[in-house]
Chain A
Amino acid sequence: MSEDNISNPILLDALKELANIGTGHAVTALSSMIGKFVSITVPEVYLESISKVADVLGNPEEEVAASYVGYHGELDGGAMLIFDSASTHGLVQTLMGADMDLTDPMAMSMMQEVGNILVGSFVSALASFFGSTIYAEPPGVAVDMLGAVLNVLLAEVGQHADHLIVAKTTIAIEDVNIRGWIVDIPTPESFQRITEKLGL
């Protein structure tokens, strides 16, 4: 597939809108889970070489907590919820009432649940937007280097494309200083297929 096609501004706008809808659903779920107001920013969409995706999102060696859901169907790709280490401690504190080591099974299990709810509602919002069936794979969770956790997502979408369209939305819970991102990367070929079907 030519890169002229995936850098088409209409396609990038469509992905931005899609990320907005998906993240809106996801933060509603998070907000009701923790009983706090969760804000989201306008999604940023990048067309980026697979070599540089980690650098665009942050320091590849920084410790983060990440939850991942791969999805398949008319749209293929993966979505990842990422919190930096300070925000993850804040989230553990908010939800569990006490801080703990992020690799503690209790903390991991909480992150898995938060990720499952957020990324799961993100993916189901994509499916209802397109009126199509999109299957979500069982979620994964890890506390590790940003670059290392992103490998999972990039391996999912990187077989056929050297350049990827990356949608990143920042979510924040201001009064407890928690900040995270939802990163969505559809495979460029499936994204183009589905937008063509919709006449975009």
Chain B
Amino acid sequence: MSDMVNVGIGEVAVLTNPGRIAAIGLGSCVAVAVFDPVAKVGGMVHVLLPDSRGQKTDLPGKFADTGVPYLFKLLEEKGVRKERVIVKIAGGASLMNVNVGGFGDIGKRNIEAVKSQLERLGVRIQGEDVGGNEGRTLILDLAQGTFNVKTSRGAFRQF
């Protein structure tokens, strides 16, 4: 639908109600969705890898350590306050059981890295649909304030 903003790998999107934000086809990637019910502003980042290791990038959303702080910076510029946000994360599956780039289980590493960044920002995660071995699409609906996951196995979960 036309009101939906797709957040590709490494991208960050921030949107004011109404509208929806989605990260489509998450495998080992993790998406962080944030909604401020008072400001009616939401945002999402689509993380590919846990750690930038100081690497310069034009896509700060690509890494957990650069992407999560960058998302919150953009949200705060739109009037979002950390103390009232609802934060949910999805993705981090292990689809192929292969050792990617020496990371071992890259999905698991991404989940841990995203959680540690959120903790560092002092933000509590209120919901997660992570791990396992299925691909997911995460959709944040700003008008409803809902977080939904569609899976590759045809499941649909509000969480």
Contacts and interface: CB of A to CB of B under 8 A. Distances in A.
A140 B96 CA distance: 5
Interface string A35-59: 0000000000000011111110000
A145 B48 contact: no
Interface string B86-119: 0000000101111111010010000000000000
B108 to A, nearest CB: 12
B25 A145 contact: yes
Nearest to B55: A160
B95 A144 contact: yes
Contacts of A52: 8
**Interface SS of chain B:** loop
B48 A155 contact: yes
A162 B136 CA distance: 23
A158 B135 contact: no
A51 B9 contact: yes
Contacts of B29: 151, 155
Contacts of B95: 140, 142, 144, 148-149, 151-152
Interface of B: 8-11, 24-29, 46, 48-49, 53, 55, 57-59, 62, 93, 95-101, 103, 106, 133-137, 150, 152
Interface of A: 49-55, 60-61, 63, 68, 70, 137-142, 144-152, 154-160, 162
